[in-house]
Structure 1
């Protein structure tokens, strides 16, 4: 019975071109979404409005 057990790793086929394209496309999309969320969360100083306020306009 011990000889029936097969502990070798399963054979996984190489990913196709479309699978690679999908993988990297999703990865780039996730990075883009993180950048968009960070742009909303992190405030950017508005130097133009600040200069107008300092000038009394």
Structure 2
């Protein structure tokens, strides 16, 4: 019974070009989303420009 078990690693084919493109595209998309979320959360200090006046 124990001799029936096969503990060899399964054969996994190499990823194709489209699978690699999808993987890295999703990875870059996730990084872009994190940057966008951080841009909303973290306030950016604004420089106070004294030359800018609104005349009404």
| Both proteins in one fold, TM over 0.5 | yes
1:2-56 per-position Cα deviation (integer Å, ceiling 9, x unaligned): 1110011111110000000000000000000000000000000111xx344xx8x
Higher helix fraction (1 or 2): 1
Counterparts of 1:12 and 1:35, CA distance in 2: 34
TM-score, normalised on structure 2? 0.84
Report the aligned-residue RMSD.
1.4
Structure-to-structure mapping, 1:23-38, within 5 angstroms = 23-38=23-38
Where in structure 2 are there 5+ consecutive unaligned residues? none
Equivalenced residues, count: 52
Runs of 4+ deviating beyond 6 Å = none
Task: Give the aligned partner of residue 14 of structure 1.
Answer: 14
Mind listing any 5+ residue stretches in structure 1 that lack a counterpart?
Answer: none
